[in-house]
Amino acid sequence: MKRNKDLARAADAEVLVVDNGKLPSVEFAWDYLNNQLARQIWNSAAQLAKTPYLKIAFAELISLEGQPDHKLLLDMLEQLQKHGIVIIEGVPTEATGDQTCMLRKVMSHIGTLRNTFYGETWDVKAVEQSKNVAYTNINLGLHMDLLSFENPPRFQALHCLRNRVEGGASYFVDSFAVAQNFAQRYRDQAKLLAKSKI
């Protein structure tokens, strides 16, 4: 894999070539890379709440005919790329089948659903004596899903169809902010983690 100094030498080139020595090399045009949206780190709910498209109304995003408002869809995708989270409010809950659920219809305007050992979509519900903690009503705390995958999904979509209990809360954290904070507080450990294969 090319090191930063190799990449710096290539800065006057028209393309960046990424070659890890195992897979075929990949070329990226510098113009393309320079036009990518920069991630904006957030570390508080108040800071996140100030982002322009954190919450979007489903009725404004998708028409009755199932077509997206392309401008709002682009704004939503920019929010997702920059901040890592979007909340679509008011998504219909009547259709619950894997092929007919509204989650699938919304996501079809964003990209292809990835198949997992659970399927492309699946129900998460409390099951008595479950061996998987995800299927219990136990507080899971902050965590990331599907990290056992060699290539975990960049984004995950959740749709609450029914909540049969009162209370409960969902918490989100910017993992880039956590990593940045860790690197500032524990420089030596962060360098070791950056060099270590895990």
Q: What pLDDT is attached to residue 9?
A: 47
What pLDDT is attached to residue 116? 83
* CA geometry: angle 174, 197, 150, nearest 5 deg: 65
Helices (H) and strands (E) in the chain, counts: 8, 4
Nearest-angstrom CA–CA distance, 144 and 140 = 10
User: Distance between CA atoms of 90 and 130, rounded to whole angstroms?
Assistant: 30
pLDDT of residue 55: 96
172 three-class SS: coil
* Residue type at 132 in one-letter notation: N
Hey, where are the domains in the chain? Answer: 1-36, 37-162+171-195
Q: pLDDT tens for residues 119-176? A: 888 888 888 888 888 888 888 889 888 888 888 888 889 888 877 777 667 889 999 9
Record the pTM.
0.76
CATH architecture of the domain with range 37-162+171-195: 4-Layer Sandwich (3.60)
Below-70 pLDDT ranges, the chain: 1-13, 167-168
pLDDT at 10: 52
State the pLDDT at residue 167: 67
pLDDT of res. 12: 62
Long-range contacts of 80-84 (CB under 8 A, 24+ apart): 80/155, 81/37, 81/39, 82/37, 82/38, 82/39, 82/40, 82/51, 83/39, 83/40, 83/42, 83/48, 83/51, 83/54, 83/174, 84/39, 84/155, 84/174, 84/175, 84/176
Distance between CA atoms of residues 89 and 159, nearest Å: 10
